[in-house]
Amino acid sequence: MTLAYQLIDFKNPVFLAYTLWSVTLALKMMYLSMHTAIFRFKNQTFANPEDGGRRNVHFNNEEVERVRRAHRNDMENILPAFLIGLLYVLIEPSTLSACLLFKIGAIARIIHTVVYAIVVIPQPARVLAFAIHYIITIYMGVSVLYHLF
């Protein structure tokens, strides 16, 4: 029988899929910091008095706030999914479905960012992208809990 820690290896395709898609999402999430900075300069909108130098600065801008909401939504959803996903790997789920779930969930979050903060597309584009990743994460979390009993 496989011990849980033995699943933490890049030769395990489920752990490999977890690593690939989690790191991709982490990098995507960190990109939003740059995106916020770009929009701050474009709109001359800063969060701190010392950030604007000698220019006249503004402190609220809808375009900047939208990127920040997308970023916060990432923190709310992607960060707990990192833990849940890792523990899901350790319950040794079926390879095919686990790899697919990691992939679909990550692509959904990438689409979520695009339609929220880059090219604003009318609903339900964003809510659908949100829901796909959300449901997958809940499913993985419940599977882990179920495995423990």
Q: Contact residues for a second copy (CB under 8 A)? A: 3-6, 8-11, 15-16, 19-20, 22-24, 26-27, 29-30, 32-33, 47-48, 50-51, 53, 66, 69, 71, 75-80, 82-84, 87, 90-91, 120, 122-123, 126, 134, 137-138, 141-142, 144-145, 147-148
Cβ at position 27, least distance to a second copy in Å = 5
The rounded distance, in Å, linking the Cα atoms of 148 and 17 is 23
108 with 100: CB under 8 angstroms?
A: no
The rounded distance, in Å, linking the Cα atoms of 106 and 110 is 6
Cβ at position 75, least distance to a second copy in Å = 6
Q: CA separation (Å) from 110 to 8, 39, 45, 95?
A: 25, 19, 26, 23
The rounded distance, in Å, linking the Cα atoms of 2 and 64 is 49
Cβ at position 44, least distance to a second copy in Å = 15
Of 75 and 96, CB closest to a second copy? 75
Classify residue 57 by its DSSP letter: -
Cβ at position 46, least distance to a second copy in Å = 10
